[in-house]
Every structure is written in structure tokens, then in C-alpha cells.
Amino acid sequence: MAIVLHNYWRSGTSYRTRIALNLKGLDYRQVTLDLRTGAQGSPAFRALSPQGLVPALEVDGTVLTQSPAILEWLEERYPEPPLLPKEPTERAIVRAMAAIIGCDIHPLNNLRVLKALKGDLSASQEQVNAWIARWIGDGFAALEQYIARHGHGFAYGDAPTLVDCYLVPQVYSAERFGVDLAPYPRVVAAAEQARRLPAFIAAHPDNQPDAD
């Protein structure tokens, strides 16, 4: 089965998708789109992804979009190694932790929003950085408590789960924008644990074919 990932090296949603693909041990070909030049808005890409957003995953003639749906599909289609616990309540907790990032941090700090802050609201870079830090801080403060309750080396339990697929790219983004992570030692420790694994190393933005 041929798998093609349309993505951008520094996109957090693309990063989390690469991690999941790597953890599942899947081979895939990358097609890169430079979000800075607006390549994602081309008619050819919008024919695949109507929103013009990355990632998009082509699998045997079907195109999957939205990284949460893609990661859930990967888990259902390739259940080993598992990225969700077996017990329903535990699965719900993992999904909730991932959603803190996927729903409440990342969407507020993605490229479209940051461009709108600068272009539509004339925000300065200092104001944009404060905006970024605010939403990362709110989410990481909650995750710090979840990891204290449920983490055992990784964000949840003692092996990588969906949470780590979301967490590592978000920590990368926080570092990139100079967010103070000192108040979130458990978040940082869980991310560092995951980043040591080959699947995470291979998915790192600097290791992608379109990286600057």
C-alpha cells in the first residue's frame, strides 16, 4: 500500500503525523508544501485538501485530512504498536490530553492565526509572542497535572501514546518562540523521553527533506 504524506517540515500537525507514521513502522513518501509561499493554496493541493491545510495523507486513492482523524485512522488500521490504552477510560484520558494541545493550544498559534494577528490586528511581534506564550502556558499547566497523575516516563504511562505525538511538536514550537518552560518540568521531561526514540528523531523538522 502506497502512503503519501503532503506536509511542511515545521508544521506541528505534520510533525505529529510523521511521528505516528514512524511509530507504526510505516513507509511513506513525502510531498512538501512551503506554507510561507502559499503553496498549500494551489488548485492542485486544494483538490486534495479542500481547506488547503497540511497534512493530507493519500492512501490507495483516498485522501485523509485533519491530523487527529489521520492519527485515529492509523491506530485503527495499524493497531500495533498501540498508541491508545486498551481500557476505555484510559483511552478517554489519553484523547483528552492530546486534545488540550490539538484543540486548545495549536489552533490558536498556527500560521493562519499568527498572520491574522499581524495583518488584520496590526499586532507587534512582541504581542504575538505574548499571545503564543499565553495559550501554550494555559495548556501546559493543565498537562503538567495530567502527567503527574498518569505519566510514567512518557506523558501517559511507560510507552509512547497519542499524547506524545502531540506533545513533542508543541514543545518544539514553545522552544522556537522562546516560551519559558521552567514551570512545566514534567511536560519537558516527558517530551525529552520521547525525543530520544528513533521514530521521534526521524520526524524532527530539521531532519525533513524540505527543512531550511
Alpha carbon distance 17, 121 (integer Å): 31
Alpha-carbon span 61 to 28, nearest angstrom: 14
Are residues 34 and 95 located together in one domain of the fold?
no
- Determine the Cα–Cα distance for residues 183 and 188; give it in Å rounded to an integer: 9
pLDDT at residue 148 in the model: 98
Mean pLDDT of 65-92: 98
Q: Computed from CA positions of residues 165, 171, 173, 175, in that sequence, does the dihedral angle turn out positive or negative?
A: negative
pLDDT at 1 over 80: no
In a domain, 206, yes or no: no
Separation between Cα atoms, residue 133 and residue 154, nearest integer Å = 23
Identify which of 118, 109, 86 has the alpha carbon closest to the alpha carbon of residue 174: 109
pLDDT of 110 > 90? The answer is: no
Helix (H, G, I), strand (E, B) or coil at 151: strand
Rounded Cα distance between 81 and 184, Å, is 28
Query: What CATH number should be reported for the domain holding residue 190?
Result: 1.20.1050.10
User: Does one domain contain both 51 and 109?
Assistant: no
pLDDT of residue 84: 98
Query: How many domains, in total, are found in the chain?
Result: 2
Domain final residue, candidates 28, 50, 81: 81
For CA atoms 116, 122, 126, 127, the dihedral sign is negative
The pLDDT value recorded for residue 111 is 86
Task: Check residue 106 and give its pLDDT.
Answer: 94
The answer for residues whose C-beta is within 8 angstroms of residue 152's C-beta and 6 or more apart is 158
Compute the distance between CA of residue 170 and CA of residue 163 in angstroms, rounded to an integer. 11
124-149 pLDDT, tens per residue? Answer: 999 999 999 999 999 999 999 999 99
Average pLDDT estimate for 38-51 = 94
Structural domain includes residue 95: yes
